[in-house]
Chains A and B, each alone.
Chain A
Amino acid sequence: MSRTVLKVTGAQGQGVNSVGEVCAKGFKRAGYCVLGYREYASVIKGGHSSYQLDISPKLVRGSETKANVLVCFNHHGLTKNLREVQDGGIVLHQTPEWKFSPEDQQWVEEHNVRVIYLPSEKILKTFNLKPIFGNVLITSVVWSLFGQDADSLKELIREQFGHKGEEVVQKNFECIDAGTAFKQEHAADAHIQLPKPEKQWRDHMLLTGSQAMGIGIIHAGCRVFTGYPMTPSSPLLSYIAEKQNLSGMVVKQAEDEITAIQMVVGAMHMGTRAMTTTSGGGYDLMTETISLCGMSETPAVVVLAQRPGPATGLPTWTAQGDLLLAVHSSHGEFPRLVLSVSDGEDSFTLLPEAFNYAEEYQIPVIVLTDKQVAECLYTQQFYDQKAAEIRRGKLVTDVQELAKLTGADRYDPMAEGGVSKRWLPGANAATYCAQSYEHIADGSFEEGAEGTRQQMGKRMRKMETLKKALPEPELFTVRRGQISEVRNAVHPEVLFVGWGSTKGAVLDALLELTSDNSSLIAGYLHYTYLWPLKTGKLEDLAGKAKKVILIEGNQQGQLGMLIRQECGLDIPNKILKFDGRPFFTDELHELLSQCISPPSG
């Protein structure tokens, strides 16, 4: 796929993110789809970090490992990231008198890489500007390298700094002019040609997966949000907190994760929509309360933002290692729903659904995301606000119906599908006890064998009802470089199976793979709903495919384990990644090619 990659590197706190974000906005407004990918260490200042933009007039779903332009705020990028530069690419740096090692120098020459030194300090001194203006100076040089018009950058800068007054704006404009002049004077021939832009991207949003989720949560009518900071779930907490005065939501940063989930249970029991967000370690602390939701049949929604574990692991990197945690967490047996977002679209659309399922089945719902989706910057069209529904299941609110209830309706073991009526404290009706002990229909204690069997049966029946109601995994059929809507007749010869953030990279890789190989019909089966696990469609497709390959961001192939457990289907071919990095499109393209035509001998 034709894409251009800009990678900005530097120490955390140096302005890497700000340059990345301004450029992302600029390219999007110029008519390009932008995908932003951040890498950083678990420190506030000083760690080596990067902000990468994959830019194209076509939809970009996954990041690549190679950059056309590498910007280095300090010399570390010149050694650590040099070899990520494409043949014929550009390195823009500001380290005075920099000399590559002989090997690197040779590499630079062999790969026809243009190295441009920007004497930022000197230029800023000439204009008597503080070092902070260096960010805009670098941005303007990058902007010129991409052949973009300085006025469009000025417009962005005015939007960003306008509130600081005209003087600040004018100083920034001086920097932009200086950067543009520098480029013309010292690197007039250096140029990165972008393909023709597409108008459609201009009015898209640029947002992270966390922001997408946040908007979905507000849209879903969630009115109480609790949390305890933990990367990579914190950006969601921050977004919701930042918007609370507009949304009117009750936002509580709790004393710990146990509090956060307990408050959710209390608020959901009372009848509003409430949720919390955390990462693996925090989720571990919540698990006893998840079990309480199972027993008391209290709806709850928890976002579990994955990062590599065990223990503190790699806080600022990504993983898909908590699927089995989400499915098996908590003591005792009870129904739950586990689902996973995968991009900027479903990070929004799945949140109202999470609440709907939680309320309809009166169960805990665990929404998986990961650092990759949570912090990736997506070019996203406006969400369709007509699509979402608010479904509250067997919630009784009608006054006359309330008057007919008895306490024993609450946990009626004979309820159809195991789902009994639910009504809210304060309603003028018979009262009941939401009970963490085993109980009879009105929540009174029960220690008898028959009653225990009945209530366990009732609860677990919900699992079956839910499984029937859930959508099957989604099949993307890819051929001749296009994702096609293929009707029943065509079956993929090679079927890839995955979930979560893997989707974007797999689809981009398959588009390339099927462009190379025009006779290939490839399929990607994407699991959004992971527990209870539906396997009918998979079994059908796997039976017809020549080869099935599992792709997951964990060490054991956890979805593969669940598939084998649920239907006996074993997927021996696995592409697994567990080094904290997401799947990259070019990397997957190569791996998938090998899968399809293994080297002979």
Chain B
Amino acid sequence: MNSIPLHSTGSSEFSGEAMKSYSCGNTCNWCDGCGDYGIWTAIKRALVELSIPPSGVLLCYDIGCHGNMSDKLMGYRFHGLHGRVLPLAAGAKLANPVLPVIAHGGDGASFSEGVNHLVHAFRSNYPITFILHNNANYGLTTGQASSLTWQGQPMNSSPNGIPENTIRSMDFVFSLEPTFVARGFSGNIPQMVQIFKTAIQHRGFAFVDILQACPTYNKFATHEWLMRHVYDVAAEGHDPSDFAKARQIAVDTSERISTGVLYQDAGIPNFYERLAARQGKTTAPVEEVEKIDVSGFMKELV
């Protein structure tokens, strides 16, 4: 099936009309002040700046407020099930490693329902980008606590605050030997654009934690609070190849919160590159759907 076009470069009118090409007739329905507006704008901008047309990307969404983005922009999209966006996106990428695949998921999906997938995405180093919409609660189901909700916060279904510990997400992430970790803030669109661009171009699994304002249910890490606490590590000359330093500034949020590309190692092969069976192949699995001669497999069974 060599006629399947793999890597669309879009129409010739693409340049100059780029942001418009991602526009869609459906009206956004997030709450006023929701961090998703910023992330939505930044992802479109990043794709445009990378010259990736809507037909040249697969955007995968988990279930949650962020998932309502799935019909608010153009691009090939798959809006799947709660907690499962990572294996969905990874499976898609393995079928066509040429096409950029970006997965969006919330903190509920990623640190509770599908936390196993997150663990294995790091260890597999799938060549996909994961954007964590981290608003520290389950917004779409009306504000229940997630495993990233702060201690002592009364939430829907945990009015006394959570009896469990809050997961120290960055400590957890760094314990999994990531090859790319970044953190952004939904109020800083230009920085998110830069982070997303770097993440999309990363060789393996790019984990991007976006601290996202949830004006309706998150009364602790508000837009204003986040704005006061974040700082840009690039401005302070952080070296993203320094694992120990990256981990330290990622984990320590007691005084201020580091944002930007915290850690990157592009020297580590991704999952697809590690597959012995695919070495030397010039085609993608999506191009290889045809009747395959099995004479050799039969002969060895005589």
List, in ascending order, chain B residues with CB within 8 A of A429's CB. 8, 55
How many chain B residues touch the partner (CB < 8 A)? 68
Whether A597 sits at the interface, judged by CB under 8 Å, is no
Contact B301 A207 (CB under 8 A): yes
- Name A266-285 residues within 8 Å CB distance of B: 266-274
B228 within 8 A of A: no
Q: Which of A144-152, A218-226, A571-579 contacts B (4 or more CB under 8 A)?
A: A218-226
- Which of A204, A383, A428, A445 interacts with B294 by CB under 8 Å? A383
* Interface flags, A409-436, vs B, CB<8A=1, else 0: 0000000000000001111111111111
Closest chain A residue, CB of each to CB of B9: A428
Question: Would you give the shortest CB distance from B95 to chain A, in whole angstroms?
Answer: 4
Q: Are B92 and A267 in contact (CB under 8 A)?
A: yes
Mark interface residues in A271-314 (1 if CB within 8 Å of B CB, else 0): 11110000000000000110010001000000000000000000
The answer to whether the Cβ of B235 comes within 8 Å of any Cβ in the partner chain is no
Known contacts: A397-B1, A444-B26. The answer to whether A269 contacts B78 by CB under 8 A is yes
B70 partner residues in chain A, CB cutoff 8 A: 433, 435, 443
Known: A262-B87, A444-B71. A436 touches B291 (CB 8 A): no
Chain B residues with CB under 8 Å of A205's CB are: 298, 301-302
Task: Point out the residue from B3, B79, B285 that lies within 8 Å of A433, measured CB to CB.
Answer: B79
Given contacts A272-B96, A432-B77, A433-B70, contact A426 B289 (CB under 8 A): no
Contact B116 A243 (CB under 8 A): no
Q: How far is the CB of B121 from chain A (nearest CB, A)?
A: 9
Verify A435–B99 contact, CB threshold 8 A. no
A98 proximal to B (CB < 8 A): no
Chain B residues whose CB sits within 8 angstroms of the CB of A267 once the complex forms:
91-92, 94-95, 285
Please judge, given known A-B contacts A266-B91, A397-B3, whether A223 and B289 are in contact too, CB under 8 Å. yes
Is B47 interfacial (CB-CB < 8 Å)? Answer: no
For residue A264, CB closer than 8 A to chain B, the reply is: yes
Q: Does the CB pair B5–A258 fall under 8 Å?
A: no
Is there an interface contact between A211 and B301, defined as CB atoms closer than 8 Å? yes
Contacts known (A426-B6, A428-B10); A219 close to B291, Cβ less than 8 A? yes
User: Would you call B84 and A258 a contact (CB within 8 A)?
Assistant: yes
Contacting residue for A221 out of B4, B71, B289, CB 8 A: B289
Say yes or no: A221-B91 contact (C-beta < 8 A), given A262-B80, A429-B55, A444-B71. Answer: no
Q: Is the CB of B81 within 8 A of A203?
A: no
Chain B proximity of A397: nearest CB distance (Å): 5
Task: Give bound CA distance, A248 to B295, whole Å.
Answer: 15
Chain B residues with CB under 8 Å of A206's CB are 301-302
- Distance in angstroms between the alpha carbons of A431 and B302 in the assembled complex: 49
Residues from 115 to 155 in A contacting B, C-beta threshold 8 Å: none
Asked if A289 and B81 sit within 8 Å, CB to CB, the answer is yes
> Contact at A263–B96, with CB atoms within 8 Å?
no
Q: Are B63 and A431 in contact (CB under 8 A)?
A: no
The answer to whether A271 and B91 touch (CB under 8 A), given A207-B301, A256-B116, is no
**Residues on B with beta carbons closer than 8 Å to the beta carbon of A252:** 94
- Chain B contacts for A268, CB-based, 8 A: 95
Whether, in the assembled complex, A562 has its beta carbon less than 8 Å from a beta carbon of chain B, the answer is no
Verify if B238 is at the interface (C-beta below 8 Å from A): no
Task: Indicate whether A168 reaches chain B with its CB closer than 8 angstroms.
Answer: no
Q: State which residues 222-272 of A face B: CB under 8 Å.
A: 223-224, 226, 243-252, 254-256, 258-259, 262-272
Separation of A389 and B3 alpha carbons in the complex (Å): 18
Residues of B within 8 A of A218 (CB): 292, 294, 297
Number of chain A residues whose Cβ lies closer than 8 Å to a Cβ of chain B: 78
Which residue from chain A places its CB closest to the CB of B59 in the assembled complex?
A433
Contact check, A266 vs B55: say whether CB atoms are below 8 A apart: no
Q: Is B237 an interface residue (CB 8 A)?
A: no
- B294:A434 contact, CB within 8 angstroms: no
Q: Is the CB of B79 within 8 A of A254?
A: no
The reply to whether A385 and B286 contact each other, CB–CB distance below 8 Å, is no
Residues of B within 8 A of A259 (CB): 87, 116-117, 120
Does the CB pair A263–B4 fall under 8 Å? no
A434-B77 contact, Cβ under 8 Å, with A221-B291, A224-B91? yes
CB <8 Å contact, A248 and B277: yes
The answer to whether the Cβ of B290 comes within 8 Å of any Cβ in the partner chain is yes
Q: What A residues does B88 contact at CB under 8 A? A: 262-263, 265-266
Q: Report Cα–Cα, A266/B59, bound state, in Å.
A: 11
Contact for B120 among A224, A246, A255, A388, CB less than 8 A? A255
On chain B, the residues within 8 Å of A224 by CB distance are 91, 94-95, 285
Query: What's the minimum C-beta distance from A210 to chain B, rounded to whole angstroms?
Result: 12
Closest to A352 in B: B291
Interchain nearest-CB distance for A433 vs B (Å): 4
| Interface contact A288-B94, CB-CB below 8 Å | no
Q: Mark A74-98, 1 if CB is under 8 A from B, else 0.
A: 0000000000000000000000000
A267–B71 alpha-carbon span in the complex (Å):
21
Query: Scoring B residues 7 to 38 as 1 if CB is less than 8 Å from chain A, else 0, what string do you get?
Result: 11111000000000000001000000000000
Partner among B10, B58, B71, B75 whose Cβ is within 8 Å of the Cβ of A270: B58
Q: For the complex, is A215 an interface residue (Cβ under 8 Å from B)?
A: yes
Would you call A273 and B289 a contact (CB within 8 A)? yes
Closest to B1 in A: A397
Within 8 A of A (CB), among B68-127: 68, 70-71, 74-81, 84, 87-96, 98-99, 116-117, 119-120
B182 to chain A, nearest CB (A): 23
**Nearest B residue to A203, CB-CB:** B302
Q: Which of A218, A292, A389, A433 has the most CB of B within 10 A?
A: A433
Among residues of A, the one whose C-beta sits closest to the C-beta of B123 is A255
CA distance A429 to B5 in the complex (A): 10
Question: Which residue of the partner chain, among A211, A248, A430, contacts B281 with CB atoms under 8 Å?
Answer: A248
Q: Which residue of A is nearest B295, CB measured?
A: A385
In the assembled complex, A158 has its CB within 8 A of some CB on chain B: no
Does A167 sit at the interface, judged by CB under 8 A? no
The residue on B at minimum CB distance from A219 is B294
User: Is B54 an interface residue, CB under 8 A from the partner?
Assistant: yes
Is A399's CB within 8 Å of the partner chain B?
A: yes
- How far, in angstroms, from A429 to B10 measured CA to CA in the complex? 8
Could you tell me if B75 and A274 are in contact, using CB atoms closer than 8 angstroms? no
Question: Do A399 and B80 touch across chains, with their CB atoms under 8 A apart?
Answer: no
Q: A204 to B4: give the CA distance in the assembly, Å.
A: 38
Which residue on A lies nearest to B92, using beta carbons?
A266
Indicate which residue in A221, A399, A425, A442 contacts B290 across the interface (CB closer than 8 Å). Answer: A221
User: Which residue from chain A places its CB closest to the CB of B74 in the assembled complex?
Assistant: A431
Give the nearest-CB partner of B287 in chain A. A272
Q: How far is the CA of A430 from the CA of B71 in the complex (A)?
A: 14
CB pair B286–A424 under 8 Å, yes or no, is yes
Q: Do B5 and A390 have beta carbons less than 8 Å apart?
A: no
| Residues A262 and B84 in contact, CB atoms below 8 Å apart | yes
- The residue among B7, B60, B81 with the most chain A CB atoms within 10 A of its own CB is B81
Q: Looking across the interface, which residue of chain B has its beta carbon closest to that of A208?
A: B301
Residues B77 and A431 in contact, CB atoms below 8 Å apart: yes
B267 within 8 A of A: no
Residue of B nearest to A444 (CB): B71
Chain B min CB distance to A331 (Å): 11
Q: Is A398 an interface residue (CB 8 A)?
A: yes
A197 to chain B, nearest CB (A): 16
Of B63, B80, B89, B119, the most chain A CB neighbours within 10 A belong to B80
4 extra interchain contacts, Cβ-Cβ under 8 A, other than A215-B297, A246-B297, A270-B93? A248-B277, A250-B275, A425-B92, A428-B55
Give 17 A-B contacts (CB < 8 Å), ordered by A residue: A215-B298, A244-B277, A249-B277, A256-B116, A266-B93, A269-B92, A270-B58, A270-B92, A270-B99, A271-B289, A272-B95, A272-B286, A273-B289, A388-B291, A427-B4, A436-B63, A445-B26
Q: Which 5 A-B pairs have the closest CB atoms?
A: A266-B91, A263-B91, A266-B92, A223-B285, A425-B76
> Which residues does B use to contact A, with CB under 8 Å?
1, 3-11, 26, 54-58, 60, 63, 68, 70-71, 74-81, 84, 87-96, 98-99, 116-117, 119-120, 272, 275-278, 281, 284-286, 288-298, 301-302
State the A residues within 8 Å of B (CB).
203-207, 211, 214-215, 218-221, 223-224, 226, 243-252, 254-256, 258-259, 262-274, 288-289, 292, 296, 352, 382-383, 385, 388-390, 392, 397-399, 402, 424-437, 439, 442-445
